[in-house]
């Protein structure tokens, strides 16, 4: 038989009494599932035509002929926009895979320290000159969880720090443990975020400044991916920020998921 989905809320009633309210949210749950499937299918269907489009555009740009020469600028722009659409589609697919697949597989040992070391090396290779970087990555510190969603969390938070921090700023990345669990933090000295925007940042396509985000290559889905990926790891995103001073994006993974890795 099919399972139904209920939500459950517990309210404090008189002393020592509690009121438990169950609500049948099956309909809502099914609608959410239909929406998720639709977005995943639509993104998947758009992938191939876009690959063909950007492939031909790239070819015309790389091999200019007499006919295409006068179209060079529009061709460059078309190629740039096709690439942007591809990034959005890839992010939509990442989001739907995090929302659906991940729970079906068993969690595995993830060497977070190695993943972060590789990311640190890549960031230093690309932006080493542009920012003052500080990486504090505890060795042998890993998690029981899902590697791909975790990589999405780390890479989105680090690339946002780069994107919203003017060159010359400082970016700190920390990975450490204490009694509470394992902490991941990215701190920047960037533009900062006004308080009223903070609760909405993890909504899909929510941006403080749409033009700026687009110019810097953002899809508007980064923090939505981070939020959902963290939920699957028993964690959530905390954001502290001061306008003009910078931001700290952090999360704590519960102690029972933390692993000490061997060499």
Binding site for ligand ADP (CB under 6 A): 156, 160-161, 163-164, 188, 190-191, 193, 201, 207-209, 213, 218-224, 247
Token code pair at residue 104:
């079906």
Task: List, in order, residues 6 or more apart from 17 with CB less than 8 Å away.
Answer: none
Residue 87 sits at the vertex; the CA angle it makes with 83 and 89, to the nearest 5 degrees, is 115
Are the C-beta atoms of 260 and 148 separated by less than 8 Å?
no
Task: List, in order, residues 6 or more apart from 83 with CB less than 8 Å away.
Answer: 54
Determine the Cα–Cα distance for residues 149 and 130; give it in Å rounded to an integer: 28
Nearer to ligand ADP among residue 58 and residue 231 (C-beta): 231
Nearer to ligand ADP among residue 141 and residue 165 (C-beta): 165
| Neighbouring C-alpha atoms within 13 Å toward the C-beta of 186 | 21
Determine the Cα–Cα distance for residues 229 and 153; give it in Å rounded to an integer: 7
Shortest distance in whole angstroms from residue 23 CB to ligand ADP: 30
The residue whose two tokens read 């980064």 is 222
Token code pair at residue 136:
């504090």
Determine the Cα–Cα distance for residues 30 and 253; give it in Å rounded to an integer: 30
């Amino acid at each position: 038989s099919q399972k139904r989905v209920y939500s459950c809320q517990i309210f404090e009633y008189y002393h020592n009494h509690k009121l438990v309210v169950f609500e049948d949210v099956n309909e809502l749950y099914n609608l959410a599932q239909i929406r998720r499937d639709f977005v995943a299918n639509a993104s998947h269907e758009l992938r191939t035509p876009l690959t063909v489009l950007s492939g031909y555009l790239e070819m015309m740009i790389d091999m200019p002929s007499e006919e295409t020469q006068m179209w060079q600028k529009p061709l460059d722009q078309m190629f740039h926009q096709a690439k942007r659409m591809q990034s959005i589609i890839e992010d939509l697919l990442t989001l739907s895979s995090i929302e659906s697949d991940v729970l079906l597989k068993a969690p595995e040992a993830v060497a977070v320290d190695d993943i972060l070391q590789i990311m640190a090396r890549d960031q230093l290779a690309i932006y080493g000159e542009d920012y003052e970087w500080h990486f504090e990555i505890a060795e042998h510190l890993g998690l029981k969880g899902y590697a791909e969603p975790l990589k999405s969390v780390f890479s989105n938070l680090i690339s946002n720090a780069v994107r919203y921090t003017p060159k010359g700023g400082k970016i700190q990345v920390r990975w450490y443990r204490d009694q509470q669990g394992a902490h991941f933090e990215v701190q920047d000295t960037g533009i900062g975020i006004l308080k009223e925007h903070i609760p909405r940042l993890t909504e899909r396509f929510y941006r403080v400044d749409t033009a700026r985000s687009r110019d810097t290559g953002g899809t508007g889905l980064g923090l939505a991916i981070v939020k959902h990926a963290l939920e699957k790891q028993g964690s959530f995103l905390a954001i502290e920020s001061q306008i003009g001073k910078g931001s700290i994006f952090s999360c704590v993974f519960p102690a029972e998921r933390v692993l000490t890795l061997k060499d």
